[in-house]
């Protein structure tokens, strides 16, 4: 089978492409002109240049059997609202229309737990939960919700699409890095004197990749599957990192008003004057409520692997160190 993959240069996409190649799939990856190819170097894949909103995207999919639409624009900056809508919502609409035009048999759409929202009283939620869109914090979460609705509409029109909602992946090939990777990197650089009292659901990125393939093979059309593993407070994650690396974990937490004040000054006052902001307001607001999820459905129906988070952290630490990330500022 030949798979068409968007977002192959990114964290999840790079791991997915490697898995597909290991499983004997041929891969065609859509890559933007300006995207660095570090994550795809030396891989035996076909690269086609283009954008999610290309009007001729369907032609680029011809000859493929399935599509993994992994690409998305990630930003917590409020100034990026239009770009988030353009790439995540309109881009998803165009990718799904192109797959329909190219007569693709099945599409796996990579949504996010961000689209699901959070529960009350910090309790984990599953695929049946949906926070009202107006309660989703920030334009990124809203854009992922609206993009998922594009998939729902296409499913209702008869298209074979399975939706996966990864939580916070950890592991190798995190080139940017992602926000979770940035936490690990700042810890390794000893740039984390304190922490915020929050929590997330974490999963090894290779399990996320496997979840995509399992969704293709076993997922029910129209269903969403949370690809997650363990709910941990940020403090618990940092303590695990300390055990792995020997670097002391920060011992004190800071009240939320401190980073929120820094973010407000950064994004509202200094950014308009030309300073690059360092802390997004929406990112701080998200941390006010732990983002805990229940992945039992994907485990039961797909056989989603549950690699220990300690292994994911070791893999991420080793990858960052071997690529020289800890030596950069």
Read off the pLDDT of residues 104-142 as tens digits, 9 standing for 90 and up.
Answer: 999 999 999 989 998 887 899 999 999 888 888 778 889
Largest CA distance in the chain: 56
- CATH number given to 2-175+202-231+292-309: 3.40.50.720
pLDDT at residue 271 tops 70:
no
The β-bridge partners of 57 are none
pLDDT at position 192, please?
80
- Residue 82's CB is within 10 A of a number of other CB atoms, namely 9
Decide if pLDDT at 213 tops 80: yes
Confidence of residue 19 (pLDDT cuts 50, 70, 90): very high
CA–CA separation, 217 vs 211, rounded Å?
A: 10
Band the pLDDT of 255: cuts 50, 70, 90: low
190: left (phi over 0), alpha (psi -120 to 50) or beta: left
Tens of pLDDT, residue by residue over 300-321, are 999 999 999 999 999 999 999 9
Q: Output the CA–CA distances (angstroms, integers) from residue 89 to 73, 118, 151, 160, 176, in the order listed.
A: 10, 21, 10, 19, 22
C-alpha 150/C-alpha 167 separation (Å) is: 20
Checking if the pLDDT of 33 tops 70, the result is: yes
d(CA 112, CA 80): 18
pTM of the model: 0.91
Band of the pLDDT at 218, cuts 50, 70, 90?
very high
- What integer best gives the mean pLDDT of the chain? 88
The per-residue pLDDT for range 48-102, each reduced to its tens digit, is 999 999 999 999 999 999 999 999 877 665 567 788 888 899 999 999 999 999 9
C-alpha span between 296 and 267 (Å, rounded): 39
* Residue 158 buriedness (CB in 10 A; 0-12 / 13-18 / 19+): exposed
- Domains of the chain by residue range: 2-175+202-231+292-309
Q: Where is mean pLDDT largest: 40-44, 218-222, 282-286?
A: 218-222
């Amino acid at each position: 089978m030949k798979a068409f993959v968007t977002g192959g240069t990114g964290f999840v996409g790079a791991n997915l492409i490697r898995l597909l190649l290991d499983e004997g799939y041929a891969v065609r990856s859509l890559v933007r002109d300006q995207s660095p190819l570090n994550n795809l170097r030396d891989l035996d894949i076909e690269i086609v240049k283009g954008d999610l909103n290309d009007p001729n995207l369907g032609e680029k999919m011809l000859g493929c059997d399935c599509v993994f639409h992994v690409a998305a624009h990630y930003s917590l900056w409020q100034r990026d609202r239009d770009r988030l809508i353009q790439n995540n919502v309109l881009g998803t609409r165009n990718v799904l229309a192109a797959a329909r035009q190219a007569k693709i048999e099945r599409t796996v759409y990579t949504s996010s737990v961000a689209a699901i929202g959070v529960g009350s009283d910090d309790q984990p939620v599953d695929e049946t939960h949906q926070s009202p869109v107006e309660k989703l914090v920030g334009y990124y979460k809203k854009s992922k919700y609206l993009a998922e609705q594009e998939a729902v509409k296409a499913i209702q029109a008869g298209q074979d699409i399975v939706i996966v909602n990864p939580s916070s992946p950890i592991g190798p090939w995190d080139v940017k890095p992602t926000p979770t990777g940035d936490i690990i990197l700042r810890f390794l650089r000893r740039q984390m004197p304190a922490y915020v009292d929050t929590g997330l659901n974490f999963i090894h990125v290779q399990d996320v990749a496997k979840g995509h393939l399992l969704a293709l093979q076993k997922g029910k059309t129209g269903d969403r599957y949370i690809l997650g593993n363990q709910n941990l407070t940020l403090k618990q994650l940092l303590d695990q990192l300390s055990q792995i690396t020997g670097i002391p974990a920060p011992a004190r937490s800071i009240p939320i008003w401190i980073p929120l004040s820094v973010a407000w000054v950064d994004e509202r006052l200094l950014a308009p004057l030309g300073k690059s902001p360092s802390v997004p307001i929406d990112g701080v607001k998200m941390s006010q409520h732990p983002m805990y999820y229940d992945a039992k459905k994907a485990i039961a129906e797909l056989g989603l692997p549950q690699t220990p988070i300690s292994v994911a952290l070791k893999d991420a630490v080793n990858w960052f160190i071997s690529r020289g990330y800890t030596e950069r500022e």
